[in-house]
Structure formats: structure tokens, C-alpha cells
Amino acid sequence: MLIGNEFFESGQVSGYVAWINNQGDLEWMKILSEGATGKLFSGIAANDGFVVFGLSLQSIGWASSVWAVKLDITGNIIWSRTYDLSTDSAARSGLLTDDGDYLLAGYLDSKGDGNYDFYLLKLNTNGDIIWNNTYGGDGSQKAYSITRANDGYVVVGDIQLPNSATDAWVLKVDQAGKVLWNRSVGVKAADSAAVISMSEDGNYLVGGFTFSFGEGNRDIFLFKISEKGNVMWSCTQGDSGYQEAYQVLDVGKNQYIIVGWTDPPKETSLIGKAQYDFYFVKISPQNANLNLTILFIAICLLAATVSIIVWRLSKKNNKR
């Protein structure tokens, strides 16, 4: 299934859904509209069709609403629902839960001040809300991807505190939406997570971009995080241009396929000009370019050194 958007000269935006068979042939295609703008970001296969979701904007200047559409296997609309929360909201990713319901992840401006929170919305098969929760604090947090865990779900996106750049943010909740743990990953410059998937060993691969590490500008950022929320390793992929990951797959033997975009190679005049190429890369981070691990080790060594100095000074003072 291909999911995207169609942009019209009038300024209207509509969702685009196409079903491609395993031979690459187009089986059916649908244009889905909702208000002045109806954007689709993702979709999932349901037990009796598909559910696609994004945001709708009824008129310019209005707040956006979460928008979800259920289609049967031939692309006919079963239902189309918007969830008006009287403030900006959007659904960016989702999954089919073990009980056959739909769990959507995105963001919500819950305070109406332009800062967002992670937003989880669980729907039944008719599109009715079972529960919805927001997660966040100071600053702004936006969720872009969700995957299942053995005991709940893990959501990733970014977090921006007041007067600071973004960090990647990872949140784990149980099946009822209760927080189990959360972690921010990043340093001084802007870092963000766009996708999460489960690794072969039951931990999680998180992909996105980083300005803190790598070759310069925006590089692909990949890190592995454990079931308990500990960063196991991290690495970057890219050059002096701009790159970003939107999907990562564990293909075994410490090898990973990353899909995203890059500035056109060897076109330095186009760096940062929003004229991107698709980017596919297979990496094997043997030494993992362990940027974060090296940083953590350095911090630990520094802390140990300071502790030794303080201890020696205290001993010296005691002798006096």
C-alpha cells in the first residue's frame, strides 16, 4: 500500500492511497478529501481492510484535527472520522493491537500555546475512541513512530525544551497507556527520531537525524535502545550534505538497511535546498561509531577524575 498526498493548484491537499500487487501493478487508487486540507501520513493493515490516518484542516487558520479513514480490501470507504480536540493535533503512525483495535501516535497542542505533547489515541474497529492520552512536560514533544513491545508500546519523536535544540525522545507505555519509562537522546545540537522498529534480539532500532554527530550538517542517526531504555550503541551515516532516515530494518548479522533521503550527491550547490534524492544504504556498524557510548564513557571518566581530585584534596586538608 502506498500512502501520500496530492497537491492541487487551488491550494487544497487530499490524501492519496494506492494498492500495488506483488508484481508492481496498480490494483486500485483512491483520493481522499477532508476539508481544505486532508493529509495522510501512514496506514496499517486491519483484519478486514486498511486504516489510514493523518490530519484534516477544515479551513485556513483553523486548528488541525486527527483524521482516520477505514477502507475495505478493494479501497471502498467504510468510515471516515475526524477527532476535533479544539486544538492542533495529528496522527503520524499507528499499529494494530493484539485485541484488534487501532492505536495511533502523533501530537497534540494540549495547552493551546504552540507547544505539543506526544499523543496516543486508541480506536475500536468502528473508529470510536477507547482511550487517549498525552505525554510531555515543558517545551514541545512530537511523536512520529510507534512499535509494539512485549509488554506495551514504544513511541519515538523529538523533544524541545525552551531555548534549546531538539533531542530524540523515546517513550514506553504499557497496553493501557501508562508510562513505563522515557529517555531523551542527543547532545547540544538538533537531533530527532523519525522511526522505530524492533531488532532481532527484542530491543529497538531508532532512526532519524542528528546535527550533533557525523560528518556535518544533518546526518542519518541510528541508535539501538534496550527494553529498559538504555542506549546500547549509536552510529551515523552521511556526508557533508543533508540526510535523514525514515525506515530501518534489521536484516541480521549486525546489518541494517536504512531508507530515507539525501542531498543530491556531488551537487554542493544544492545542499540544504530541499531538492532531495531517495537514499538506501546497508550498514554494519561493527564498531558502531559509538558516538554516544564514547561520550558517556568520557563523561564517566571525567566524573571519576574529578572524584579522585576531590578525594585527594580532602585527604590533604585532613592531614593539615
- pLDDT value of residue 288: 45
Number of H helices, E strands in the chain: 1, 22
| Dihedral angle of Cα 69, 75, 78, 84, to the nearest 10 degrees | 10
Instruction: For residue 101, give the 3-state DSSP assignment.
Output: coil
Sheet with strand 152-160: strands edge to edge: 140-149, 152-160, 166-173, 179-185
What is the per-residue pLDDT for 36?
A: 84
Q: Which amino acid is at 226?
A: S
Length in residues, the chain? 320
Query: Which residues of the chain are modeled with pLDDT < 70?
Result: 286-320
SS3 252: strand
Grid cell of 118 as nine digits: 506526544
Q: Contact at 8 Å (CB) between 188 and 295?
A: no
Q: Is 160 helix (H, G, I), strand (E, B) or coil?
A: strand
What are the domain boundaries of the chain? Answer: 2-319
Give every strand in the sheet of 219-225, ordered side by side: 191-198, 204-210, 219-225, 231-237
Q: Catalogue the long-range contacts made by 259-262 (C-beta closer than 8 Å, 24 or more residues apart).
A: 260/207, 260/220, 262/238
The answer to whether the beta carbons of residues 197 and 248 sit under 8 Å apart is yes
At residue 71, the pLDDT reads 98
CB within 8 Å of 80: residues ≥ 6 apart: 32, 34, 67, 68, 69, 70
AA identity, residue 31: I
Architecture of the CATH domain 2-319: 6 Propeller (2.120)
Give pLDDT, residue 267. Answer: 79
**Residue 314 neighbours by CB under 8 Å, 6+ apart:** none
Distances (CA, A) of 260 to 13, 29, 208, 233, 270: 23, 24, 9, 20, 17
HEC letters along 277-290? EEEEEEECCCCCCC
d(C-alpha 266, C-alpha 241), whole Å: 9
